Amino acid sequence: MTNRRQFLQYSAAAAATSLTASSLLAQERPGGQDAPFKISLAEWSLHRSLRDASKGISNLDFPRLAKEEFGIDAVEYVNQFFKDKAQDEAYLTDLKGRCDDLGVKSLLIMCDGEGNLGDPDNNARTRAVENHYKWVDAAKFLGCHSIRVNAASRGSYEEQMKLASDGLRRLSEYAKPKGLNVLVENHGGLSSNGAWLAATIEKTQMDNCGTLPDFGNFYVTRGKTPEMYDRYKGVEELMPYAKAVSAKSHDFDADGNEIHTDYEKMMRIVLDHGYHGYVGIEYEGSKDSEYDGIKKTKTLLERVAAKLAKA
């Protein structure tokens, strides 16, 4: 077990890595020149299993499951599965050690439930920004390149852009000297409007503030008459700022194609923007088990990668 001094020394060493190098981690072309992208696994794909006590698995088991069950050696955590552990040195050391032993990379932490970074109330917005500090520090310790946050706000189109960009800028200022990126996912509300989110990121004027385009989260409003933003247009608008990509999947046809998203079309958009980093599997369907859904998504991505590598 590390003591507090060792923890801080390790963190300081990680911070010595430049932001540029951290950003390149997300953009590097893994697997040689013929591999257009590499596949990672988002922990949310296993959210039902992780919440089911009878399954007997926890966040600490996630790296092993990714490697042994699915043959995936890069992971994207979800903070709610270790909500009270962000500042637990022993826990983080254990998690990092398991990843190191398995040869699994920790890429990012998806952060929810820490307040709205675009809250109209300045005090609440400040609390939300500061609530994320511990996840920046945890991500740095684990060797991640980013945390993923939300840009929730209230008010008019312009007001929400101003508020969200303020919160994101302040959090990015904290993360930058530590070599971490702050990424926003299209995750409901105006954040699912690609034009709005792209303009909001631009307004932060921080090069470590970017996007994590998700193939499926383009519901601006839900309900009986949902407003849905065009997913291909949205990803196109978000890719200039992308430092990670989320391959959302729900349902598959008999040929193994995702029926809601044309993966080949979507991945052409991703690659056309020069992105050759990790694409995270995020299975959310219910017709297949989580394990089968992850495997089907991986097979689809591999098939698309093979085709696009020859293009």
- Confidence bin at 27 (pLDDT 50/70/90): very low
Above pLDDT 90, what percent of the chain? 86
- Confidence bin at 289 (pLDDT 50/70/90): very high
| Residue environment code for 128-165, b if the CB has 16+ CB neighbours within 10 A, otherwise e | bbebbbebbbbbbbbebbbbbbbbbbeeeeeebbbbbb
Give the CATH number for residue 58: 3.20.20.150
The residues pairing with 165 across neighbouring beta strands, listed in sequence order, are: none
Mean pLDDT of 134-157: 97
Say if residue 49's pLDDT is above 80.
yes
For 49-53, 91-95, 223-227, 301-305, which range has the lowest pLDDT when averaged over its residues? 223-227
Higher pLDDT, 7 or 270: 270
Give the structural domain span for 47: 4-310
Say if residue 21's pLDDT is above 70.
no
Please tell me the distance from the alpha carbon of residue 57 to that of residue 62, in angstroms, as a whole number. Answer: 8
Please tell me the distance from the alpha carbon of residue 83 to that of residue 97, in angstroms, as a whole number. Answer: 19
Q: What is the pLDDT of residues 100-121, one digit of tens each?
A: 999 999 999 999 999 999 999 9
Q: Are 248 and 282 in contact (CB under 8 A)?
A: yes
pLDDT of residue 259: 98
What predicted TM-score, i.e. pTM, was given to this entire model? Answer: 0.89
Q: What is the pLDDT of residues 208-218, one digit of tens each?
A: 999 999 999 89
CA distances from 157 to 124, 235, 249 (A): 20, 20, 29
The residues pairing with 42 across neighbouring beta strands, listed in sequence order, are: 76
Above pLDDT 70, what percent of the chain? 89
φ and ψ at residue 219, rounded to 5 degrees: -85, 105
In the chain, the number of structural domains is: 1
